[in-house]
Amino acid sequence: MFDKVLIANRGEIALRVLRACRELGVRTVVAHSSADADSLPVRLADEAVRIGPAASRRSYLNAAAIVEAARQTGAQAVHPGYGFLSEDADFAEICAENGLVFVGPPPQVMAALADKSTARALMSRAGLPLPPGSVRTLPTVAEAQAVAAEVGYPVIVKAAAGGGGRGMTVVRSAAELPRAYARTRAAAQVAFGDDRVYVERYLADARHVEVQVLCDNHGNGVHLGTRDCSVQRRHQKLIEEAPAPALRPATLDTLAEVALRGALSVGFTGVGTVEFLVDDAERAHFLEINCRIQVEHPVTEMVTGVDLVQEQLHVAVGTPLRLRQSDVRLHGVAIECRVNVEDPDRDFAPAPGRLERFRPPGGPFTRVDTHGYAGYLVGPHYDSLLAKVAVWAPDRAAALDRLDRALAEFDVAGPGVRTTIPFARRVLRDPAFRAARHTTALVERLLAPGDAGTDVDHAARAAVPDPRAGTDPTGRTPVPAVPATGPTTWRNP
């Protein structure tokens, strides 16, 4: 195992990686911006290195500063967490050139999978089902129009370099396509430096189901079941659960098998997530492979008993996989809610500020991953995720009740601070969601003007028993920027 790992991230995931390292006897270095100098990961790390000011591009996206921090502290590996540089093939290559192990897949695998058009072609060759659409990118609007006419509207125009819910435009008619095509290409060029796009049939009322995979450097791999991430707003997930509910066991088994086959076919290593859309006939359509630990990984850990971050580290150091597929057993149901510092009553606008009160929930089978504490300043610079509340129970109904109880206990308050807890509890009470009959359209429906929480169609559907469901498993306080003067290091005793 490594002696020392540098954590190139912040917030709850930095703390999660730090704790996994500590349990393995690995010393930790937390690379942080000036805005995070008083954060919990920095306080708990063996060493901390300031790599730049608050702006992400000069700190958490500053590859040179991160590599220099690792060099100064003698770290052998860099764990990128999620977001920032976690799926940046160039950064992984830079780490390798400087004698550092990047905790993730090889750079060439990341580069291939980051290009969504290339990933579609690779997964198609591996036998994964794709949504109807173009396999290659479409350099002209005429080609996009031809594909859209063939597959039928609505369609979605996607950036080849996009991901994480960015770089996508839904098009509902032929008249909308030219403008949407041009707008998506322009936005992709600005966001990703790559204006290539492709077109797929848009599945408006589907489930978002993903498979967790774990592969080593010796050609071995296992899957660790499924997750449902259908509760999302603007392609950003809000509530996740494992295993995916209300799908036939045969469907879940097939998804897991093809996901692992797809990952192994491209030489994937580490932990990854293969994402699908599943329609009402339980036909699956490949979306993408994520090359990092996912925000929602705790629910998989809770139903399998596998520490995914520790397994990441074992794979990165070169250890053969410590699990066989027969070792993976799913027990019960786990559900996670993301607690974001946003105001649902103002279109989920950021609502940061200083936390005067911060009391996370407790109780049996309740896990809270958070970097928050009373007195912590939630600034405006980064992602709004403050905490993840995850619960386990023997069945889904009990898990939903436990999560609602936990969220009711969560006390967060401060000037200008608002959270998504009230909206999450509204989702938990929705009849369609409780009956596991929800799709990716759920949040949009709940936010529709005049919606009282459920509409006639969904309420009627939810009232029909389903043997597959049930118990199956802005007052902003700016942080002044500090000029970058190179990494500054201190050590905890």
338 is catalytic: no
Closest CA to 441 of 454, 428, 452: 454
Which of 16, 196, 292, 418 is catalytic? The answer is: 292
* Residue pair 415/264 in contact by the 8 Å Cβ criterion: no
Round to whole Å and give the CA distance between 440 and 317: 38
CB 250 within 8 A of CB 85: no
Cβ neighbours of residue 77 closer than 8 Å, sequence gap 6 or more: 2, 4, 5, 6, 100, 101, 102, 103, 313, 316, 317
Tell me the H-state helices in 155-237. Answer: 177-192
Distance, CA of 141 to CA of 177 (rounded, Å)? 8
Is residue 105 a contact partner of residue 269, using CB atoms and an 8 Å limit? Answer: yes
Spell 50-72 as b/e; 16+ CB within 10 A means b.
bbbbbbbebbbbbbebbbbbbeb
> HSE (CB half, 13 Å, CA atoms) of 349?
10
The closest of 330, 331, 321, 209 to 271, measured between CA atoms, is: 321
Residues contacting residue 310 through CB under 8 Å, at least 6 positions apart: 20, 23, 24
Active site positions, annotated? 292
